[in-house]
Chain A
Amino acid sequence: MSTVSSARPAGALYWPVQARRNIGVRSLFLVVLAFLIAYGFLFPGLFSASGFAKFTQSWFPLALVAMAQAILMLTGGISLAIGPTVSLGAVIAATTMAGPLGVTGGAAAVALTGLGIGAATGFIVVRLRLPAIVVTLAGSFIIGGAALLILPRPGGAIPEWLSDLLAGDTPTAFVLLVAIVLLWKLYLATPLGLSLYAAGENPVGAYRSGVPVDAARVAAYAISGLLSTGAGLFVAAQTGSGDPVIGAAFTLNSIAAAVLGGIGFLGGQGTMRGALAGSLLLSLMISVMFFLGFTPVAQYVAQGLIIIGAVAIPQFRKVQ
């Protein structure tokens, strides 16, 4: 009996698997493309070097927090502390980088804080078996409080050359984003990374199969924390200083972006490319509505309606 699989060399598995994952997000990619074209018409400057740089810079922090949220939602968790963690990252960057620690030391402090907060949160959620939504809600008060303690009012400084590098006229943000996506692909190609899906969707089955479910989940929280404080560093570089509440909007926007990108709340459903597309769509929506002259209130309402629509459409398809 001739078979489909034997017609192909056994080694070609990785790319077909990747291609299969695109199927679920194809229509989303089309919508993003449509918005990109609309944006290009409204703002032709997008196609100049600095226009492109500015555009990716406005998207970049949202992309990071969308990833931070998506990785948790894939494990069946969620975080309400993303915004405060972004603020804390910004505050630490603004208070350390211009001081004796320098840029390298400051970046290390930002990274370690993110990893530490994430790992601690993950440990509490996973080992004490507490609901993630409650733990991260409590965490959001603690982390937000810590940011205010470090910098009670906007201040601090980011070295000018770093601000220019990250938020100037160069496409550094885009290059960084590509690098982060590649690192994510690499992580997902490790046994621990791939276990994320199994641990999120079918933890009992995964445990019985020998998957280190707890380790996979704690690692996800740590990575999520790192991405959040990293976004904070970038936001601080954009503004040139630190603001202890600058991240507030990111908590809900990160969830919105992940949901738009097709990440399910039950764990194991969705893809990171979907979440990234979702964050791009959200970012584009905000810009397009701004250029169309929507008032901020109308923007929020439209944003909410679009998110509900995006979540409802697949449900309608299922019913039919």
Chain B
Amino acid sequence: MAPLLAARGVSKSFFGNPVLRDVSIALQPGRVHALLGENGAGKSTLINLLSGALRPDGGTIEVDGRAVARMTPALARQAGIAVVQQELSLTASLSIAENIGLGAYPKRFGLVDYSALAARAKAACELVGLHEPLSTPVGQLPLGRRQMVEIAKALYRKPRVLILDEPTSSLSATETKILTDLLERLRSEGIAILYISHRLNEVMKLCHHVTVLKDGICTADRSLEGTDAAGLVRLMVGRDPGDLFPQWRPSPSPATAISVRDFSAGLMRDVDLDIRTGEVLGIGGLVGQGQEDLLLGLYGAIPARTASATVNGAPGLPGGVPRANALGLAYVPADRKREGLHLIHTITTNMMLPAFARLPALKLRSRRAERETARGLATQLGIKGDLARQAQALSGGNQQKVALAKWMPHDPLVLLLNDPTRGVDVETKREIYLMLRAFAAAGKAVVLLSSDTPELVHLCERVAVVREGRIAAMLERAALSEEAIVSAAMGAENRKVAA
């Protein structure tokens, strides 16, 4: 039987960076197909190609066995392809029914036919177990219920192919059960389902066939029968590190730099954590599980609560960025362009920015001293070229170095780094790794939040794996492996946790 929807040898690059290479996938009617892969493996890109939101650089998209020359979202909708996106497409001020019908309202005399809409939306809602009145504005629903509205919206269009991108990440156990029963029923009605999830147990229970992506390459396309969770994890991880990472050495006599008990901030709940001097502590896990809130909470940039805390000898949390800086904390954000740098200002200005807070408010700036400090930092970090240029003239890697460099004159005791190597070229990565190890060797504490699993394995003394706002596992050096981190991140049950 021809697959309802298929990609044949598709490739896609962004800015010369290949994201998918020669990937094929075929969605058969009456089958639940799992798509697995780590963060950044190319899953979302593949969905966007299948649903026409993006066009492939090479390869073809086929509907019912026929190649579609130019897939668009409109064509995909006509072909009965519905996507439940991770980020919701709902409008908070409209009612449940108005959201479900959005873009495909039944009409009578040119007006929205509210009776027909109510009947059809109600049918879709009953499928997913939504019993709230249809007139409820979506903004009043909790996140899990909104996700169910999103799924009902896809079902309202009576799809032949249903693509779900991590549909259960915000669902309760009951809602997840309703969804899995529903998918089983849709499958038996002959609908092709593509299911993306980071919960391996769910995938093992629900799906029949799996495609695994790793760094944009398809590493498996096979039946799930006779496969175990550990085998799937192995297919997702493993990359030859080459000589990218510096030699690992144990740190000298650690002392406690930061200690928190029952720490809560943002998504993070009830965290007990000790950060030691002389170590690189990794923070791992799938994107958006609360890792960033952990760093920002410690740094005092978002409100945080804790039962007890000491930060570099001082009791209590900093509670604000100036106090955190005074206590020797420095934070390098992930989004260089928005949070890390002031792109239209010069490199020198960017490097001097934290210093302004420390200078007496009414003292004149000494341009010469600033230039000299900046020149020293540039030499130290290998930033080449004219420092009077705008920061946006630099490459991503060099921008990251500037974002790091600006803290150096203040000799921070604790460096909080939020994904410092994302979008950075290999050479700069290596330089940054060397710097991090050098900091640790100099007796500072480095906290490295990273979405890159090999980085955590090769650089860190310990890795705290965060899952759903809690530290799911604290892996010691001896237990560190990509498999261990990914298993803990995905909540696979056969993980080994060292205390």
Q: Is the CB of A206 within 8 A of B102?
A: yes
Q: Which residues of A contact B90 (CB under 8 A)?
A: 202, 205
Instruction: Give A144 to B91 CA distance when docked, in angstroms.
Output: 36
> Is the CB of B241 closer than 8 A to any CB of chain A?
no
| Complex partner residue of B77 from A5, A189, A201, A210, CB under 8 angstroms | A210
Query: Given A5-B125, A202-B89, A209-B89: A17 and B98 within 8 A (CB)?
Result: yes
Chain B positions 100 through 113: 1 when the CB is less than 8 Å from some CB of chain A, otherwise 0: 00111101001110
User: How many residues of A are counted as interface, with CB atoms below 8 angstroms from the partner's CB atoms?
Assistant: 36
Determine if B438 is an interface residue (Cβ-Cβ < 8 Å): no
Residues of B within 8 A of A12 (CB): 118
Q: Is the CB of B74 within 8 A of A11?
A: no
A226-283 residues at the B interface, CB under 8 angstroms: 268-270
Does the CB pair A201–B92 fall under 8 Å?
A: yes
Closest to A191 in B: B105
Residues of chain A in range 157-207 having any CB-CB distance to chain B below 8 Å: 186, 189-191, 194-195, 197-198, 201-202, 204-207
Complex partner residue of A190 from B53, B74, B112, B122, CB under 8 angstroms: B112
Interface membership of A318, Cβ < 8 A: no
Nearest neighbor of B129 in chain A, beta-carbon distance: A1
**Is there a chain B Cβ closer than 8 Å to A100's Cβ?**
no
A208 interfacial by beta-carbon distance below 8 Å: yes
**Does B133 reach chain A (CB closer than 8 Å)?**
yes
Tell me how far the C-beta of A319 lies from the nearest C-beta in chain B, rounded to whole angstroms.
12
A295 at the interface (CB under 8 A from B): no
Please tell me which one of the listed residues B77, B93, B107, B122 contacts residue A10 in the complex, with CB atoms under 8 A apart: B122
In the complex with contacts A5-B122, A189-B111, A191-B105, A13-B97 CB distance below 8 A: yes
Cβ-based interface call for B132 (8 A): yes
Say if the beta carbon of B119 comes within 8 Å of chain A: yes
Instruction: Tell me which of A4, A194, A195, A197 contacts B131 (CB under 8 A).
Output: A4
**CB < 8 Å: which of A194, A198, A207, A209 contacts B112?**
A194
Closest to B95 in A: A17
Residue A16 CB within 8 A of the other chain: yes
* Residue of B whose beta carbon sits closest to that of A269: B93
**In this assembly, does B481 line the interface, its C-beta being within 8 Å of a C-beta of chain A?**
no
A20 within 8 A of B: yes
The reply on A211 being an interface residue by CB < 8 A is: yes
Given that A13-B118, A13-B135 are contacting pairs, would A190 and B92 also be in contact in the complex, using a CB cutoff of 8 Å? no
Q: Does B117 contact A (CB under 8 A)?
A: yes
In the complex, whether A3 has a CB less than 8 A from a CB of chain B is: yes
Across the interface, A20 reaches (CB within 8 A) one of B87, B111, B135, namely B135
Do A206 and B89 touch across chains, with their CB atoms under 8 A apart? Answer: yes
Please, what's the 1-or-0 string for A263-307, where 1 marks a CB less than 8 Å from any CB in chain B? 000001110000000000000000000000000000000000000
B115 to chain A: which residues have CB within 8 Å?
10-11, 13
B103 and A210 contact, CB distance less than 8 A: yes
Q: Tell whether, in the assembled complex, residue A5 and residue B103 are in contact, meaning their CB atoms are under 8 Å apart.
A: no
In the assembled complex, the CB of B24 is this many whole angstroms from the nearest CB of chain A, namely: 25
CB of B401 closer than 8 Å to a CB of A:
no
A19: Cβ under 8 A from any B Cβ: yes
B437 CB–A CB distance under 8 Å: no
**B442 interfacial by beta-carbon distance below 8 Å:** no
Minimum Cβ distance to chain A for residue B391 (Å): 24
* A268 and B103 form a contact (CB under 8 A): no
Provide the residues of chain A in CB contact with B153, threshold 8 Å: 209
Bound Cα distance A5, B131 (Å): 6
Question: Which residue in chain A gives the minimum CB-CB distance to B131?
Answer: A3
Cβ of A316 within 8 Å of any chain B Cβ, yes or no, is no
Residues of chain A within 8 A of B119, CB atoms compared: 10-11
Question: B135: which of A16, A210, A268 is its contact (CB, 8 Å)?
Answer: A16
Note all chain B residues with C-beta closer than 8 A to A270.
93
Besides A4-B132, A208-B85, A268-B91, 12 more A-B contacts (Cβ < 8 Å) are A4-B133, A5-B131, A10-B119, A13-B114, A19-B135, A189-B114, A190-B112, A194-B105, A205-B85, A205-B90, A209-B153, A211-B103
8 residue pairs bridging A and B, Cβ less than 8 Å apart: A5-B134, A6-B122, A10-B122, A13-B114, A20-B136, A201-B92, A210-B102, A269-B93
Q: Which residues of A are in contact with B by a Cβ distance under 8 Å?
A: 1, 3-6, 8, 10-14, 16-17, 19-20, 186, 189-191, 194-195, 197-198, 201-202, 204-211, 268-270
